[in-house]
Amino acid sequence: MSSDHVAFFDTTLRDGEQSPGCSMTTQEKLTMAHALEDLGVDIVEAGFAMASEGDFAAIATITQAIRKPRIASLARAKTEDIQMAARALQFADRARIHVFLASSDLHLEYKLKISRQQALDLAAESVRLARSLVDDVEFSPEDATRSDRDYLVEMVRVAVEAGATTINMPDTVGYTTPEEYGQMFREVRERIPAIDEQGIVLSSHCHDDLGLAVANSLAAIENGARQVECTINGIGERAGNAALEEIAAALYVRGDRYGVTTAIKLDQLYSTSEVLGQIITFRPSPNKAIVGANAFAHEAGIHQHGMLANPLCYEIMTPALVGAPKSHLVLGKHSGHAALRHRLEQLGFAVTREELTQIYYRFVALADRKKNIYDQDLIGLLPEQIREKRCEPVSELD
């Protein structure tokens, strides 16, 4: 793999599914896995084999149907978890076992009730076992961003020495900031030369509790991470995970800054989001970046005028880039003369400047009373002599 290639590790089917309202059947997971394969995702984390019979079945089913991405199963640092993951993955062309173990003192003391040394021993033993079963092992020190840095480095070193091929350092609770997260990646690389010498892949996994998941993921990439873990629409525990579509679009639009490549087919982002929305109980918020219903909608008059002059005035990417529906100008109380004239022309009505001014004042008064302005509302605002001169309507806004 090229050193400037960032692999996308999609955990929609595992971490994403843990979000309330996002539970999926085996068939639904398979449908989503096919969509992720079409999208160009490099690794699909299909589930947590030990969690339930359903998760085990879903992973096994996906391994037999999906061929392009690697298929991963999550496993705790426990023998039975790792063996169960290996069994679920036995039919995968390229299998990965993803082992995780807490590294923060908070988790070690209150959740696992073990010492630091016991955790180091468990990390080494579990990675060695996983590596004896598959060639590709990922290790995650859970709650890495709240871990003592010296101890985190030691746990990562132990995992690398035991045979881990990918080291993921997750911001499990969405606590860190971009500067802190990037610095953590720099320090771990500097203090463990074997990472670069052996081609160990560093990975980010960020949650959105402070709304920084995507920013933190990009900071990790700037500082050497070459795998990014994320979900479609950013679904996941609590406030969710880093959104795949946002990271992919950011790496493309700001290629001048990041200078990396991905295998993601950007024009499949919107359709993949739609597939997920049909499976789970909700769709993205209208103002969700990239795939939200309003991502390419404009109401403010200044914005609409700029869009009509040149879409680049207010859009940093085209809807076609991400496979979204065309841009549209929403008529409302913030709209200006230019957008109103444009829509009237689309409806087949040519008006003079004086006529437009009169219609516009009536339009604004109506918009103050109504949240949504429909075409029949606009036509109703027109004087009869203008309605009588109607031409053939033209197509919607391009």
pLDDT tens-digit series, residues 230-254: 999 999 999 999 999 999 999 999 9
Q: What is the CATH number of the domain that holds 194?
A: 3.20.20.70
Whether the per-residue pLDDT at 298 is higher than 60: the answer is no
- pLDDT confidence bin for 299, thresholds 50/70/90: very low
Backbone phi, psi, residue 128, to 5°: -60, -45
Residue 291 lies in a domain: no
Residue 48 lies in a domain: yes
Q: Which residues of 311-323 are buried (b: 16+ CB within 10 A; e: fewer)?
A: beebbebebebbb
Whether the per-residue pLDDT at 308 is higher than 90: the answer is no
Between the CA of residue 318 and those of 133, 192, 275, what are the distances in Å? 46, 42, 21
d(CA 249, CA 291): 11
Domain co-membership, 70 together with 163: yes
Domain co-membership, 275 together with 304: no
Residue 394 lies in a domain: no
Mean pLDDT, the chain, rounded, equals 90
91-96: average pLDDT: 97
Domain co-membership, 249 together with 309: no
Q: Residue 85 has which token pair?
A: 């993951």
pLDDT tens-digit series, residues 144-154: 999 999 999 99
What pTM was estimated for this model as a whole? 0.85
Whether the per-residue pLDDT at 118 is higher than 60: the answer is yes
Domain co-membership, 149 together with 229: yes
Domain co-membership, 362 together with 241: no
Domain co-membership, 78 together with 107: yes
Q: CB-based burial of residue 236 (10 Å sphere; 0-12 exposed, 13-18 middle, 19+ buried)?
A: buried
Residue 396 lies in a domain: no
Grouping H, G, I as helix, E, B as strand and the rest as coil, residue 229 is strand
Domain co-membership, 346 together with 275: no
Domain with 258, as residue range(s), is 7-279
d(CA 206, CA 134): 26
Whether the per-residue pLDDT at 329 is higher than 70: the answer is no
pLDDT at res. 327 = 58
Closest CA to 280 of 10, 2, 31, 7: 31
Q: Which of 244, 279, 314 is the last residue of a domain?
A: 279
Q: The tokens 């009588």 sit on which residue?
A: 388
Residue 263 lies in a domain: yes
pLDDT tens-digit series, residues 47-86: 999 999 999 999 999 999 999 999 999 999 999 999 999 9
- Domains: count for the chain: 2
d(CA 19, CA 147): 25
Domain co-membership, 203 together with 244: yes
